[in-house]
């Protein structure tokens, strides 16, 4: 069973923020912004590659509500999902990073030369 399924099953602890029938949100253990939340579907999906529109429908409303609950919806935030090896995905259970609480840099995306990646 994957680590996020274990969190869903309460086999390992997490700092849970919100939960409904289909989704769970908890603080990232290694935050990269003042607010760094992970939102996941309760059903196991490996990545965005496999997600269905039905799951995304649930997750979209859920994540909008989480952003409101933690008070980042008005000032803005970022939603990211990493996919596969090139995307830097470490946990093979679909998750959306919700990052906020400060003006986020675009970092290496804006500063780098695309050729750096070749």
Interacting residue ranges for ligand AMP, rule: CB under 6 A: 3, 14, 26, 28-30, 38, 82, 88-91
Identify which of residues 29 and 118 has a Cβ nearer to ligand AMP in the complex. 29
List strands edge to edge, sheet with 77-80.
Answer: 16-19, 23-27, 35-41, 96-100, 77-80
d(CA 51, CA 21): 17
Give kind and range of the element (H or E) at residue 67.
Answer: helix 53-69
The answer to whether 70 and 17 have CB atoms below 8 angstroms apart is: yes
Residue 95: CB minimum distance to ligand AMP, A: 6
Residue 49: CB minimum distance to ligand AMP, A: 13
Identify which of residues 30 and 74 has a Cβ nearer to ligand AMP in the complex. 30
108 is catalytic: no
The answer to whether 97 and 79 have CB atoms below 8 angstroms apart is: yes
Identify which of residues 26 and 62 has a Cβ nearer to ligand AMP in the complex. 26
Determine which one of 27, 44, 95, 97 is catalytic. Answer: 95
Q: State the catalytic residues.
A: 95
């Amino acid at each position: 069973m994957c680590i996020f399924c274990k969190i869903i099953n309460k086999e390992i602890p997490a700092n849970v923020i919100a939960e409904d029938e289909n989704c769970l949100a908890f603080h990232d253990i290694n935050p990269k912004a003042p607010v760094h939340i992970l939102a996941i579907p309760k059903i196991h999906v490996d990545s965005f590659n496999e997600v269905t529109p039905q799951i995304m429908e649930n997750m979209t409303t859920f994540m909008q509500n989480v952003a409101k609950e933690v008070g980042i919806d008005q000032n803005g935030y970022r939603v990211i999902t990493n996919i596969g090896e090139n995307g830097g995905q470490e946990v093979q259970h679909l998750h959306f990073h919700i990052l906020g609480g400060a003006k986020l840099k675009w970092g290496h995306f804006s500063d780098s030369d695309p050729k750096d990646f070749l």
